[in-house]
A and B are shown apart, each in its own frame.
Chain A
Amino acid sequence: MKVELDINKVKHAVEVEPRTSLLDCLRDKLLLTGAHAGCEHGVCGACTVLVDGAPVRSCLMFAVQADGYAITTIEGLSPGPGELSPIQDAFCETHGMQCGYCTPAMILAAHALLSKNSQPTREEIIDAISGNICRCTGYAQIVEAIALAAERMRRQNIKADPL
C-alpha cells in the first residue's frame, strides 16, 4: 500500500505492507534509526515519536495509519548539523543517559511535556517519562535534565514548540 507520511515537516511517499509498523517504516524505509525497538508490544517506550505533538508508541501504529499527522522524530529536533536543541543539550549537561537506547524517546517525551507545561514539577516530569523504561540510569539524571531544560528555556524565553 502507498502512504504519504509527514515526518519532521518533510513529506515522504512510501510503499509498505499494511503490517509494517510506523517504527519499522521509519527505520527501514526512511533510514531514521533514532526510534528504537525495545519490546514491540507497547511497554518500553523506546519507539516513541510525536504525532501531532503527542508522544505515541510507534510500534503500536501501522505506517498505513500514520498519514495526515505531523510526525516528529528525534532527527527533527536538532537545529542543524552538529547542533543541539536546549533539551538535547540539557541531557548532555546532566548526563541523562548511558547507553543511549531509550534517549531519543525520553527527549521526545520531554519535548512534549515542555511544550504543554513550561514549569513542570518533579512529579509531572516523572509522570511524563513513566511510560519510557530506562535500564541504565535509574532516571535521576534524566529527571534533572528535563528540569534543567525547563529552567533554561524559561530564563531564555524559548518555547518547546512541537514541530
Chain B
Amino acid sequence: MIAPEKRFRFVSSDRRVREDRRFVVGKGNFAADIVPQGVKHVALVTCPHPAARIVSIDKSAALAMAGVHYVLDGAELAGATNVLAAGLDTPNVPRYPLALKVARYAGEWVAAVVADSRALAEDAAEAVAIEYEPLPFVLDADEAYAGGTLVHEAHGSNVLLDRTFVWGEVEKDFAASPHTLKHRVKWGRSSTVPIETFGVAASWDPWREILDIWASIQMPKYPDQTAMALKIPMSSVRVHYDVDVGGSYGVKRGIKHTVLVGYLSKRLGVPVRLIEDRLENMRGGDMHGPERNFDIEVAFDDQGIIRSMKMRALDNVGAYAGRSPFQLGKPVGAIVGPYKIKSVQYQAIAVVTNKTVQEAVRAFGQSPTNYAIERTVDEVANRLGLDRLEVRRRNMIRHDEFPYLIPSGSTYDSGDYHTVIDKVLARAGYDDLIAERNRLRGTGLLAGIGIAACLEPSGGNSSFEPLLNPKVGTTTWMDSCRISIDLVGSITATMHTTSAGQGHETLVGTVVGEVLDVDPDRVRVVRADSLNSLPSNSPVGSRMAIMLGGAAFHAAKALKDKLIAIAAHDLGVPAERVAYKDGNAFDTAAPDKKRSSAELVTMAHRHIHKLPPGMEPGLSVSHIMPVPMGGGLPNADGRVQMYPCYSFEFHLMLVAIDPDLGKPEIKRYILGHDCGTVINPKIVRGMTMGGIAHGIGAALYEEFAYNDDGLLVAQNFMDYLLPSAHEVPPVEIVHHETPSPLTVFGQKGSGESGYLGAPAAVASAVNDAVRPLGIVVNSLPIKVAQLGDMIAAAREKTKGA
C-alpha cells in the first residue's frame, strides 16, 4: 500500500485492532457463551415438504419425555404475537416465527420444543407427531411470476413487488443508437453463511418488566421490531450490544428466533435460548441471499459508448419476505455502475416461491447488479470486437466530472476510476498478462482475463424503503457516539450497536484519539445496551466508518471545543487564540499561559465555579448524526439520493481452465481499491480479502441447490461448499485514495469491498477463456462439471462441423 502523506497523527496509521486481543485467547463473548442461570433450550420441528397444510400437531409423546417443558406451535404463537414486520406493503403475506396453518418451504419451523438441554430438545422434537397434507409448490421465479400455484392464496399472486422506473429518454436513446444487445444473466442463490449460526437467549423479568436479549445480531430496528411483535413497550426490551457476533455480513436478522424465545421466556418464566444448529440454519434460518434473473438490454454506438440500459431484475425471495425485496432497491443508487449511461429503465420484481426465506446479504443486492452490468459491458465490447478494458475506459465517469449525478437521482461524491485502473495495470503489466494468457492457451489450456469495475455505495441511507414502499416515510438513518472524560481524565467512548469483526472499537478509539490528540489506546470504548443507547442503525450498508466514525469525530470535536472554551475562560483570552495539543490548551499569543489536561478536567468536574457561565459541568458529549446527503424522499419518478459515498474497485485476474476437466484456476489477481481515506489499513485490507473470498465462493462454489421435490440438497457443509485457504488465491491490492468531500476524514465505506466485484471478475475471466469455443456462461455459480460438460459439447460441435 502506498503510504499517504502524513495528514493525520493516528488515522491511516498501521495500528493493531484492539478487539483481536480477546479473540486470540478465546475470550470472545459470543451468543452461545452466554448462559443465563436456569436457561432452557429450544430445538425446532421443521416441515419436510415444500408446501403443506398442517393438519394436526400431536405434542403428547414429546411432552411426556423427561426434561421437556413445552412444545409451542404456530397457532399459539400467532395468537399471542404480532406478525413480523415486512418491508413492503404486503399484509396478505404474513410471517410468523412458526408456520401458521400452512408451511411454505421445506425446513420451515413448525413447532418449538423447550427442554433442559439441546440434546433432549432434539429428542423431543423427533417425537412431535405432525400430520401434513402436501400442497402443490413452485420453485422457479419465472413460473411464480406467471401465476399458477400460489404460495400465499390470500395475496392473489406470487408477486410482492413489480415496479418499473424510467429515468431519462430511454426509448429515444434506444432508437438513436446503432446497436443493441440483449441477454439474461443469472445470479444463483447463495449467502454469506457465517461460521457462527444465529443464537439468542432471552430472559423476561416480570418484576422489572424487562426482556433481556443476548443475540448474535446485526440488524437495524431490532429492539423495536422485537417489542412490536411481542406486544411490549420498546423500553421493556434490553438488547445487550456487547455480544461479539461471529460473522454476519448482513444475514443475522434473527427476528423470528428472537420473538420465539422472547415469547417462550415470558410464557414459561425462565430464560430460554435458541442456538441454531447448522441444519436449522441452512434450511430454516431464513438467511439465504438473492437469487436473481437479470434481463438486460443496452443501446450503444460503434465506439462502445452505452447510451441507455433497460434492466429487469426478477428476484426469488423465498416463501416470505422481511426486508429482502429492498435488495432490489438499493442498487438503484449505483444502477449505472461507474459509467456515464444517460438513461435507464429499471424493473424490480420480487416473487415468492416455496424456498427458504431470503435475507439481506452483504451489499444488499449490489453485487448481483454489478455482475449483471459487467457481463453486459463485456458483451458490448465483444460484439464490436473492441478491447473490454478500452470500452470501460470510454464509458467511465472521469475524475473531473464529480460530483456526478446518475439518472436515478443519486450523486456520486468523488472518484478517480481511470487512475485506479492505471495503477492496477502498472502493477500487473496488462500486456504481460495478455501475453501470459496467450502462452497458457498455447499449452492447450483455456485461459481468460477477467475485468470488473464496480462501485461500493456506502453510508447506508434508507431511501430504498420509501422508493419501493411509498407508505414508508423514513428518510434517513442515524448513528451516535457519546464520549465522557471522567474526573481523573480517562476517556471513555460509547457505541450503540453490535459488531461482527469490523473493528468498530478500534475505529472509535482511533477517531477520538485523532481529534483529542491522545494515543487511541488510551480511549476506552464500550457498548451500550438498547435501553441506555443513543440511536444507531447497526453496521449495515457499509456505513460505520462514515457514520460511527463521523459521530465519534463530532462528539470528540465538541469535547475538544469545550476544553478549549474552559481554558480560554480561565486564561481570560478569546477562544480563537487557544490551541489544543496532547490534551493541553495554551494561548497561542503567549504559550506560557496554559492549562494542562489535568487542570481542565479538574475544573470541569470539581471547580465548577471556574467554568464559563451557562456551561454544563462535567465532560460528556453526545453526538447523533444523520447520513450525509440523506433526508430526501423519492420524487414521483423514483429519483432519490441513495447512499452518500461511493468507493471503487477494479478487479483484474487471469484464469486458466483445463478444458478436459472444466475447473477454473485463478493464476493472478490484482485489485485496485479506492475507499477514500483509510482509517485503519489492517481492517480495510482484511475486509477486502474477506469480500473477495465471499465473491469467489458465490462465483464458483456456493449454491443453495434445490431438487425437483422442492428439497434443499445443499443443506450442510459437505454439499454447500465454502472456500478454504486452498480456494482463495493471493491477491495484490493496489491502493488509491480519492477522499469523499462529505465525511470528516474523507473516508468512504469498505465493508463490502471485494465481494462487490469478484463474482463479476471471475465471470469475465471464465467467459474470456471459453469464448473461443463459442461458449457464453451467464449464470453463477460456475460449477466445474457443468463447465466441463459445456466445453465438451462445444468441442463435439466443432469436430462435427
Interface residues of chain A, those whose CB is within 8 Å of chain B, are: 17, 19-20, 27, 32-41, 43-44, 46, 73-75, 77-78, 84, 88-89, 91-95, 97-104, 107, 126-127, 129-143
The residues of B that contact A133 with a CB separation of less than 8 Å are 195, 717, 722-724
Q: Which of A27, A43, A99, A138 contacts B718 (CB 8 A)?
A: A43
Query: Is B25 within 8 A of A75, CB to CB?
Result: yes
B434 on the A face (CB < 8 A): no
| Complex contact B731–A100 (CB within 8 A) | no
Give the shortest distance, in Å, between B138 (CB) and chain A (any CB). Answer: 30
Closest 10 CB pairs of A and B: A34-B26, A100-B23, A98-B501, A99-B501, A101-B246, A138-B689, A138-B693, A74-B26, A43-B717, A95-B682
- With contact pairs A84-B25, A130-B725, A139-B728 given, residues A99 and B689 touching in the complex (Cβ less than 8 Å): no
Query: Which residue in chain B gives the minimum CB-CB distance to A103?
Result: B23
Chain B residues whose CB sits within 8 angstroms of the CB of A134 once the complex forms: 195, 690, 693, 725
Pairwise interchain contact A100-B689, C-beta atoms closer than 8 A: no
Which of chain A's residues have a CB closer than 8 A to the CB of B196? 36, 38, 46, 99, 101
Structural contact, B683 and A95, CB atoms closer than 8 A? yes
Question: Of B12-20, B283-291, B390-398, B788-796, which stretch is located at the interface?
Answer: B12-20
Asked if B247 CB lies within 8 Å of chain A CBs, one says: yes
Interface residues of B (CB under 8 A from A): 16-17, 19-28, 30, 32-33, 119, 192-197, 244-249, 275, 277-278, 500-503, 682-683, 685-694, 716-718, 722-726, 728, 730-731, 754
- CB closest residue in chain A, given B502: A98
In the bound complex, residues from chain A placing their C-beta under 8 Å from that of B17 are 92, 95
Q: In the complex, which residues of chain B have a beta carbon less than 8 angstroms from the beta carbon of A104? A: 23-24, 26
Residue from B26, B689, B722 whose CB has the most chain A CB atoms within 10 Å = B26
Q: Which residues of chain B are near A20, meaning CB under 8 Å?
A: 119
Q: How far is the CA of A19 from the CA of B119 in the complex (A)?
A: 9
Residues A36 and B30 in contact in the complex (CB < 8 Å), given A135-B195, A136-B690: yes
CA distance in complex: A34, B22 (Å): 10
Q: For the complex, what is the distance from the CA of A91 to the CA of B246, rounded to whole Å?
A: 17
CB-based nearest A residue for B26: A34
Chief secondary structure at chain A's binding surface: loop
Taking chain B's interface residues, is the majority helix, strand, or loop, or is none over half, making it mixed?
Answer: loop
**B491 CB to closest chain A CB, in angstroms?**
21
Task: Give A38's nearest chain B residue, CB to CB.
Answer: B195
Q: Are B501 and A36 in contact (CB under 8 A)?
A: no
In the bound complex, do residue B16 and residue A95 qualify as a contact, i.e. CB atoms below 8 Å apart?
A: yes
Residues on B with beta carbons closer than 8 Å to the beta carbon of A140: 685-686, 689, 728, 730-731
- Minimal beta-carbon separation of B686 from chain A (angstroms): 5
Give the one of B24, B119, B689 with max A CB within 10 A. B24
Give the nearest-CB partner of B22 in chain A: A100
Tell me if A98 and B690 are in contact (CB < 8 A).
yes
List the A side residues contacting B503 at CB < 8 Å. Answer: 95, 98
The answer to whether A17 and B686 touch across the interface, beta carbons within 8 angstroms, is no
CB distance from B697 to the nearest CB of A (A): 9
Complex CA distance for A97 and B686, rounded to whole angstroms: 8
A141/B247 in contact, CB under 8 A: no
Q: Contacts of B731 on A, CB cut-off 8 Å?
A: 138, 140
Contact B716 A141 (CB under 8 A): no
Nearest-CB distance from A43 to chain B (Å)? 4
B726 and A130 within 8 A (CB):
yes
Q: B278, A101: Cβ atoms under 8 Å?
A: no
| Residue ID in chain A nearest B681 by CB atoms | A95
- Nearest-Cβ distance from residue A32 to partner chain B, whole angstroms: 8
Write out the residue numbers on chain A whose beta carbons fall within 8 Å of the beta carbon of B244: 99-100
Give chain B nearest CB distance to A96 CB in angstroms. 8
B32 contact set on A, CB distance < 8 A: 27, 33, 36-37
Q: Is the CB of A78 within 8 A of B25?
A: yes
Q: Which chain B residue lies CB-closest to A21?
A: B119
- In the complex, which residues of chain B have a beta carbon less than 8 angstroms from the beta carbon of A138? 686, 688-694, 728, 731, 754
Among A32, A33, A88, A137, point to the contact of B689 (Cβ < 8 A).
Answer: A137
Taking CB atoms, residues of chain A closer than 8 Å to B21 are: 84, 92
Q: How far is the CB of A63 from chain B (nearest CB, A)?
A: 13
B500, B692, B724, B730: most-surrounded residue (chain A CB, <10 A): B724
Which residues from B are CB-within-8-Å of A33?
26, 30, 32-33
User: If the complex has contacts A131-B724, A133-B722, are A97 and B20 also in contact, measured as CB distance less than 8 A?
Assistant: yes
How many whole Å from B280's CB to the nearest CB in chain A?
11
* CA A92 to CA B503, docked complex, whole Å: 12
B689 pairs with A97, CB closer than 8 A: no
Residue of B nearest to A20 (CB): B119
Q: How many angstroms from the CA of A40 to the CA of B649 in the assembled complex?
A: 37
Instruction: Give every chain A residue within 8 A of B716 (Cβ-Cβ).
Output: 39, 41, 43
Contact: A136 with B717, CB < 8 Å?
Answer: no
Contact between B27 and A141, CB atoms less than 8 A apart = no
**Distance between Cα atoms of A138 and B722 in the complex (Å):** 11
Contact between chains at A41 and B23 (CB < 8 Å): no
Contacts of B26 in A (CB 8 A): 32-35, 73-75, 103-104
Most chain B CB neighbours (cut-off 10 Å) among A20, A32, A138: A138
